[in-house]
Structure 1
Amino acid sequence: MTPNIIGLAFIVLGVFIVLGKWVRVFTPLLQRLYLPSSIIAGLLALLVGPEVLGRIVSLFSSDDFFLTQGLISENILAVWSTLPGLFINIVFASLFLGKTLPSLKNVWIIGGPQVAMGQMVSWGQYVVGLLLVIFILTPFFGVNPLAGALIEISFVGGHGTAAGLSGTFEELGFSEGVDLAIGLATIGILTGVIVGIILINWGARKGHAKQIGAKSGISTEENNGIIEFENRESAGRITTRPESIETFSLHLAYVGIAIGIGAILLEGLILLEAWTWGPLTDTYLMIYLPLFPLAMVGGIIVQAISDRFDKFKVIDRSMIDRIGGFSLDFLIVSALGTVSLAVIGDNLVPFLLLAVTGVIWNVFAFLFLAPKMIPSYWFERGIGDFGQATGITATGLLLIRIADPDSKTPALQGFGYKQILFEPLVGGGLFTAASLPLIFQFGPVAILILAIVVTIFWLIFGLLYFGRK
């Protein structure tokens, strides 16, 4: 692959991101669905690529017609297919950089109920997914047992995690899994927003959502995603003088160091396994573990060192947010643009069963378990967990914003604190990344038993510890 092709691939990505933004600005329906512009851009790329436009044109023309591959060449798609696995490392390395890590005591006091709820829902997604695989999808449709992890990978992990695990899917012989996962992630975001807003309207009618009043949670200006000119702020604080070093460059370097630490940790785990339990048990898991969850650990280490030794506090969270946001946008567009619709079509019934099962479990957990596990403001706090469990973190934040527009409840703060004890393990964390090799090595039944035990633990803990308060 030549440098010119790689450069052109990024230019084309940029074109679709711009198109996706302006399509959203002038399409009220997409605004009401709160679809991110990056998802719109990825869907546009999919429509004009070989999977949609190319297939339509090939029905009415010869194979050598220039549009049989759509408007995006194979070389560009080849570059795009490699980007999710790279950008996901940046996204996860950025999660905790620039954040002052609060004490675990404060995290537990404020965010504890949402930690228990989030963990229970996420582990429960493995339970329902593996049950579906063991009793229906594998016996009747011949689906790979690894599909039992797809609900949690796609719904809580989102597009980034789904695409970032593409290498693991390939190595474990389930290459179609990445297309199914990205498709499920798209379904998850759509249903998370739509079902979430339906639940908020229901909660307002029933008196559960007490913070919804005359004030609308999202203004017209916020809907189209454009900040008014007079309200625009700097994208990040400049913490270094440009003649010394560009601030953006320094922050990008810190992200790179976090990823490097993660790579060292991963290699260390691979070597440790090769020297210890690997030869004794003939079980090798670390070689299938992707880099991104350990890049997150690397970010925590870098931030801890910065808090201890950097008296100038040069790492600015808003600048890190820009780096992580840029990476996630490019990741989503490239991942959606390279999805194989043929794979989803060949597995349409299993795909729909996984999607419907995941949504039903999340709605059940919110309506029947959240009121018993969250001692106060269960609706406002639980709706955020529902949004994250069905879509992504941003979906949870959006639903909290609608249900509690003036932030009068601890929902937003608890949701933020929850991530510290949530994301390192599930939702794209260590177990999410390890779930595929674990199912591959030990089988779906063993992991189902583990998931049931952990789900029941968090359920009982939430009911008896937090629910009684």
Structure 2
Amino acid sequence: MGSTFHGVIAFALMAALLVIGSLLRSRLPWLRTAMVPGSIVAGLIGFMGLSLGLIPGYGPKDFTSLAFHFFTLSFMSLCLTGSPKRQDDGQRSGVTMGGLWLTLIWTASLGAQAVIGYGLMAGYDALSGQHLSPLLGAIVTHGFTQGPGQALTYGNIWEQGYGITHAAQVGVIFASLGFLAAFLVGVPVARYCLKKGLNTNRDSTLNADFVAGFHPLANQPSAGRQVSHSGTVDSFAWHIGLLGIAYVITYLWLSAMQPLVAGNRVLSVFFSYNLFFAHGLTVCVLMRLAIDRLGWSHRVDDDTLKRITSGSVDFMVVATLMSIQVAVLSALLVPILLVAVAITLVTLCGALAIGRMSGRFGPERALTAFGCCCGSTGTGLLLLRMLDNDFTTPVPKELAFFNIAIIVVNIPTLFFFAPIAPALGAWTYIAIFGGYALLALACIPLLRRWQQRTDAAQPITQEPSLP
């Protein structure tokens, strides 16, 4: 049985580091002030331990697959979660409009980051003569705007299918730097907005529980409902089982399709296991539709699924940071930092500029979008809590719409062009991703007119604006 422990202990190490990182986050004042999540602290400790050889028998590659699967699990559980309760027409219109502003920022960021990263890496290669692929810079958009899972997914496809050396590793590094940028830059911006009173929720302060990292005994929220009797099956095990069904269906679907598309390079990429999350997402959406249509929604607790999503994201962050190979990081440190710093500044300026134009709740949308474009939706939500700690603004609801809209709007780039990016050619790649960014920006006048009509229907005494 000894041979079975290697993978289990790798997961146990991540879990143990999450405990250590969270405790350090709650105990050390400078970590509390920076609002650094415990998962990032845990991942950095794990990265240092692996780099210094303090975890014998384990290396970065042992955690790469865990990062991939926890990313996939987080997406699938999110899509298996039910939709929020219906709102009246006025509320729905306002949330849709706000969600479109967030979608516009995200879509523009996806395209702009790809083009800027491509150009900077190409320029650095021309000056240094290292013969680096410009796509090693372009993958920053999948690490920043999309997150570790997609960076690893597309990096593996580019590396295995097109010979882009170290694409997956560079993608993981960019994803890790994106999380760090979101908090190192986003938190000071949020504090500035609070100090200047730019946020709409003027009663919002940094919640003591949020700062401390743990809830006191008298103020611990519920983590979901028990939908099954423990004498039959534990409710948490039941929900893991539902995701297990989706995982098996997705695996069988891909296994059946791969022989049928073996002669087509593009379809072979689309139906590869590297895009498991995209197919799993679809399976979970269809499963949820079936559950609701059959009247079985009372057998699924959305809060439990949200906990699975959040927990998966925590483990994904730890695994991502522990997947970084020091040799790759040190060899490409200068171009990676150059691209990461430039992308952070451009993303921040773009989010602030478009947020200013979005009207009411502009500061909240700008900061939320910046977090989403440097890490994940969870990162954006954490930054939003600083300006709206009790979620009285509609921006959290706008995020629910945003999560669906960004997938629908970006289907061509994410599921068709990104996987085959190395085969497109430089100018075709720049035209597609740059064109998508310009198209998003061209929608600003339309959204502004819609925003003005919405704000006119719901006047407020004071409209905050970004500096």
Fold agreement, TM-score > 0.5:
yes
Are residues 404 and 467 of structure 1, via their aligned partners in 2, closer, same or farther at CA, if it must alter by over 3 Å?
farther
Q: Give, in angstroms, the shift of residue 314 of structure 1.
A: 1.1
Q: Which amino acid aligns with 2:241?
A: A
Q: Is 2:360 the partner of 1:376? A: yes
For residues 371 and 68 of structure 2, the distance between their equivalents in structure 1, rounded to whole angstroms, comes to 25
2:139 maps to which residue? 150
Aligned partner (choices 310, 313, 334) of residue 328 of structure 1: 313
Aligned to 2:224, what secondary structure does the other structure show? coil
Cα distance between partner residues in 1 of 2:231 and 2:268: 49
Q: 1:220 to 1:260 in 2, by over 3 A?
A: same
Q: 1:113 to 1:467 in 2, by over 3 A?
A: farther
Aligned to 2:18: 17
Q: Which is further off, 148-157 or 202-211? A: 202-211
2:45 paired residue number:
44
CA-to-partner distance for each residue in 1:281-304, whole Å, 9 max, x for gaps? x88532555211221222111111
Q: Could you say which residue in structure 2 is the equivalent of 1:262? A: 250
Q: In the TM superposition, what is the alpha-carbon distance from 1:397 to its structure 2 partner?
A: 1.1
Map of 1:441 onto structure 2: 423
Aligned mates of 2:312, 2:389 — CA distance in 1: 29
> Which one of the candidate residues 232, 236, 241 is aligned to 2:224?
236
The partner residue of 1:315 within 297, 300, 323 is 300
Greater shift in the superposed pair: 175-184 or 451-460: 175-184
How many matched pairs? 442
Which residue of structure 1 lines up, in the alignment, with residue 444 of structure 2? 462
How far does the alpha carbon of each residue in 1:321-362 deviate from its partner, in whole angstroms, 9 at most, with x for none?
232233333332233223112211111121012101211221
Please give the alpha-carbon distance, in whole angstroms, between the structure 2 residues aligned to 1:371 and 1:269: 47
Partner in structure 2 of residue 3 of structure 1: 4
Distance in 1, matches of 2:164 and 2:365, equals 37
Instruction: Could you tell me which runs of 5 or more consecutive residues in structure 1 were left unpaired when the two chains were aligned.
Output: 54-69
SS at match of 1:5: helix
* 2:459 alignment partner in structure 1: none
Within the candidate set 166, 173, 187, 2:163 is matched to: 173
Q: Is the 8 A contact 2:122 2:133 kept in 1?
A: no
Cα separation, 2, equivalents of 1:453 and 1:283? 24
Instruction: Give, in angstroms, the shift of residue 262 of structure 1.
Output: 3.3
State the superposition RMSD in angstroms: 3.0
Q: 1:397, 1:424 → 2: CA distance?
A: 21
Q: Counterpart of 2:79?
A: 96
Scaled by the length of structure 1, the TM-score of the pair is 0.84
Q: 1:93 Cα shift?
A: 0.8
- How big is the shift at 1:443? 2.2
How many Å apart are 1:209 and its aligned residue?
Answer: 3.2
> Is contact 1:155–1:188 with CA below 8 Å preserved after alignment?
yes
- Structure 2 vs 1, CA of residues 143 and 433 (structure 1 numbering), >3 Å: closer, same or farther? farther
| 1:120 equivalent in alignment to 2:108 | yes
Identify the range of structure 1 (258-267 vs 443-452) with the bigger mean alpha-carbon deviation. Answer: 258-267
1:354 is matched with 339
Equivalent in the alignment of 1:388: 372
Question: Is the contact between residue 26 and residue 32 of structure 2 (CA under 8 Å) also seen in structure 1?
Answer: yes
Q: Which runs of 5+ in 2 are unaligned?
A: 453-467
SS at match of 1:437: coil
Q: 1:398 to 1:430 in 2, by over 3 A?
A: farther
What's the TM-score, normalizing by structure 2? 0.84
Partner of 1:64: none
Give 1:240 shift.
0.9
Displacement of 1:442 after TM fit? 1.2
Distance in 2 of aligned mates of 1:324 and 1:210: 29
Distance (Å, rounded) in 2 between the aligned partners of 1:95 and 1:138: 43
Letter in 2 for 1:309: L
Residues 172-214 of structure 1, C-alpha deviation per residue, up to 9 Å, x if partnerless? 433523332222223222222232233334445666434345x
Q: How does 1:125-136 map to 2 (within 5 A)?
A: 125-136=113-124
SS of residue in 1 equivalent to 2:298: coil
Is 1:223 the equivalent of 2:211?
A: yes
Q: Is the Cα–Cα contact under 8 Å of residues 146 and 444 in structure 1 kept in the other structure?
A: no
Give 1:109 shift: 4.1
Give the Å deviation of 1:153: 1.1
Q: Percent identity?
A: 23
Offset, 1:136 = 3.8
Q: Do 1:86 and 1:164's aligned partners in 2 also have CA atoms closer than 8 Å?
A: no
Mean Cα deviation higher: 8-17 or 165-174: 165-174
Matched, 1:190 2:180: yes
